A and B are shown apart, each in its own frame.
Chain A
Amino acid sequence: AQSVTQLGSHVSVSEGALVLLRCNYSSSVPPYLFWYVQYPNQGLQLLLKYTSAATLVKGINGFEAEFKKSETSFHLTKPSAHMSDAAEYFCAVSFSGNTGKLIFGQGTTLQVKP
């Protein structure tokens, strides 16, 4: 069965520090991978997605993620954290040929300290 695991429910970084949010997936078929961000009491906003065109994907707000098939990972990074990055981040997977429904990880709360 396909699944997504986000390692670390809470991550805390200082402003200006590197952000690394981890995501591993389990799939028997080639996946499509997504990162979404959710601010309090709001819906989900797409940060970036991997669709097999390039393994390094650049998204909005300076975020990027690298697809590593050998490690079944799709970790999200940002070189320098900003206070406005504090939010909940979700990794999700979908699969070619299906309905397009997303399977989400449990989420990681990013705290940015001044």
Chain B
Amino acid sequence: DTGVSQNPRHKITKRGQNVTFRCDPISEHNRLYWYRQTLGQGPEFLTYFQNEAQLEKSRLLSDRFSAERPKGSFSTLEIQRTEQGDSAMYLCASSVPLSGGVTDTQYFGPGTRLTVL
């Protein structure tokens, strides 16, 4: 168990450019989540995958944002035409759903810090 990994750890880009982040979940974790954390705030939910299916998207996820999990393993989060307001830490988490309706425990990666100049 190597934990959730995210790449890159830091990304600096100019306004208007596209960026893509990658998340590798813990092996055999079929749930994968993306959150965004701005300075001084708690993480906010962006989107969620069960295997390769994207089952929920937050209203925070504008049409400039797209996430994929093509084979149910790693996931990518792309931001097109970045804006300064996109500057944040982007966190990925993975989990295994528990039976009986008990909520699962999410394990977080180290995050990708995006700075838009």
Contact = CB atoms under 8 A, between A and B. Distances in A.
B48 A90 contact: no
A100 B41 contact: no
A100 B97 contact: yes
B25 interface: no
B103 A51 contact: yes
A44 B45 contact: no
A44 B48 contact: no
A104 B33 CA distance: 14
Contact of B101 (A34, A42, A96): A96
A32 B45 contact: no
Interface of A: 4, 9, 32, 34, 36, 41-46, 49, 51, 90, 92, 94-97, 99-107
4 smallest beta-carbon distances between A and B, as pairs:
A104-B42, A43-B108, A32-B103, A44-B108
14 contacts: A43-B4, A43-B108, A43-B109, A46-B105, A46-B106, A51-B103, A92-B42, A97-B101, A100-B97, A100-B103, A101-B33, A101-B45, A105-B42, A107-B40
Contacts of A46: 105-107
> Which of A43, A92, A106 is packed against the most chain B CB atoms within 10 Å?
A43
Interface residues of B, number: 31
Interface in B27-41: 31, 33, 35, 40-41
Given A43-B91, A99-B48, A49 B43 contact: no
B111 A43 contact: yes
B31 A100 contact: yes
Contact of A101 (B56, B91, B110): B56
Contacts of B75: none
